[in-house]
Chain A
């Protein structure tokens, strides 16, 4: 309970620093704008804001950066739900069901649930960071290359879940994505694979592929559609979730937040992995799993709670061990250095009041994210009222410029457009695009860590069955792959018995 006392003192200290509070609000607002734009990520937002913290006191600077981080992770869901443009990689999971809900005229409900789930998931993860950091840190320390490989395999097994009834086609998409993910430099020896001497192919960013598969393909699809806006789809109704919706999603939110925090604590695993894993588990525990992928509100809640639940988890190894939990916290390490702070166990010992004031600031950031997020939704929702003849070109223009912004590379735009054409064809023949995105995220992680683990075990494969956490994740992966078949078989047996 010492932590509770320190946290309350932190709130009292923060209340006496109006500048820090204003900078937190500013950071959240910037994060929301950046996260909503395709091609720009929370990591970029933090990197852009970082230099401005040079002249600030630690609490103000770090709270502002945290605001950008949290706002950025959340805001990717806004364009994902409204326009099927994932603003961030984690939002690709949200787009699967979020956009389906928009097509059903339930955009307001989806956005409202996304906002509240992001708030809940993020707040829970910060509280876990405050009260459970020693336990989570000890688990994070047990993760080596072998465990990270097993986590990636578990993540890949989710392909079976997100493919829905098109399992074979989903697996084809997934393995096609895995093959594409091998383009570039070999992770161990640096050997160029499938590059044919083209320097731009040495490192193929997956965000252009994601924007192409989701946003550009959908835009191409709407070019030939007639200009009949469904007014119900264009209006944002019921943004604040009803009690019935809260009852339906609260369990999912809690579970996904915990999952997100756990995954965030693992170095190298970020919000994108957390969102897909949370989606998979929500579908497994749902009473209506057949609705996932067709507009299920629990899916939106799971993805957003999981992604934002990752933020507290990712901060954990950064603060306690000096090891970043994901790319964004790697940049935030720079912020700590600018402030003259050394992350690690001594940070909590020597600067406890400052650290807990920072935690209070993070919780304040999440409250501001909720308020600003809800306030901006009605305004952002006006986008749906635009005629398709204006909206579709706008989406394509945003996709092009957003893709260019990643690396200032026109080549990335070519990748995005090619992925858009492929995604358009995939849509026409019921090949799900999400497995490709999942494969692009998890594939390199799986290969690099497998080969690393093999080297660490001197060429022996025994790390696959002698390490408990590895065995656990691989077993979960096998279960995840087999589960759709088993459930289908049980369902058919039940129907046969009923007949």
Chain B
């Protein structure tokens, strides 16, 4: 009995192919940087050892080759017109929401050391829920506090994982 696939098979657009080329170029840059840095690794001194640089250089070289293959394939597809011509418009609002959510998460992470887990997490949850549409004036903060407290109880109290108190409060 065949299982139904979960996603439709989509053909990449020209924009997708260009982004893939960009990602491949970035990865080539990373791999090249890794090879350059690895040249400076000191040998382990063992006669029978290949040294600490060998494996990173091998992995980086193969990564460069594979990215090259992807770039060539995408260029050829663009040249042949092998892409989905129907480009869905980019929803700026969606991207902005995701960007704000990611930034908020990083701010929460960076602030935890200063203002402590309870405050940082409660404010973060409040903000994120509001960002995603849950803007009830009472339910939003109450849920944030409940989730923060539940996680605190489970990890700090039951499992003895000391969560950050924060420099300001310690």
Contacts and interface: CB of A to CB of B under 8 A. Distances in A.
Do A and B bind?
yes
A387 interface: yes
Interface string B83-122: 0000000010111011001100110110011000100010
A445 to B, nearest CB: 12
A451 B73 CA distance: 36
A191 B42 contact: yes
Interface in A371-413: 387-390, 392-394, 396-398, 400-401, 404-405, 408, 410, 413
A238 interface: no
Contacts of A37: 154
Interface string A424-459: 110001110000000000010001000100110111
A172 B63 contact: yes
A424 B6 contact: no
Given A182-B56, A400-B108, A393 B125 contact: yes
A223 interface: yes
Interface stretch (A8-16, A61-69, A259-267, A293-301): A293-301
Interface string A13-44: 00000000000000000000010010010000
A237 interface: no
B132 A176 contact: no
A454 B49 contact: yes
B50 interface: yes
B66 A168 contact: yes
B1 A393 contact: no
A104 interface: yes
A105 to B, nearest CB: 10
Interface in B141-170: 143, 147-148, 151, 154-155, 159-164
A401 B163 contact: yes
Contacts of A178: 55, 59
A441 B134 CA distance: 39
Interface string B51-72: 0100110011011001101100
Contact of B66 (A175, A296, A392, A443): A175
A454 B48 contact: yes
A414 B102 CA distance: 12
Interface string A296-337: 110000000000000000000000000000000000000000
> Which secondary structure characterizes the binding site on chain A?
helix
Nearest to B61: A175
Contact of A220 (B20, B63, B98, B134): B98
A169 B63 CA distance: 10
B23 interface: yes
User: Which of B5, B37, B47, B125 has most A Cβ within 10 Å?
Assistant: B5
Interface residues of B, number: 77
Interface residues of A, number: 71
A168 B98 contact: no
Contacts of A229: none
Nearest to A398: B151
Given A176-B63, A182-B55, A393-B129, A387 B134 contact: yes
Given A172-B27, A451-B49, A227 B159 contact: no
B14 interface: no
Given A189-B44, A390-B129, A394-B147, A220 B160 contact: no
Contacts of A447: 55
A172 B26 CA distance: 12
B34 interface: yes
Contacts of B98: 220-221, 223-224, 424
Contact of A188 (B46, B94, B105, B148): B46
Interface string A452-470: 0011011100000000000
A392 B132 contact: yes
A224 B129 CA distance: 12
B59 A179 contact: yes
A455 B48 contact: yes
A248 B160 CA distance: 43
Interface string B119-144: 00100110011011110000000010
Contact of B34 (A194, A398, A404): A194
A68 to B, nearest CB: 13
A179 B109 contact: no
A474 interface: no
B151 A410 contact: no
Contacts of A150: none
A455 B42 contact: no
A389 B159 CA distance: 28
A255 interface: no
A455 B49 contact: yes
Contacts of B117: 401
A492 interface: no
A132 interface: no
B4 to A, nearest CB: 7
B78 interface: no
30 contacts: A100-B6, A104-B6, A175-B59, A175-B66, A178-B59, A179-B59, A186-B41, A186-B52, A188-B49, A189-B44, A189-B49, A191-B42, A194-B37, A194-B56, A223-B97, A223-B101, A224-B91, A295-B5, A389-B134, A390-B143, A393-B125, A394-B147, A401-B161, A404-B164, A417-B102, A417-B109, A420-B105, A424-B98, A443-B59, A455-B46
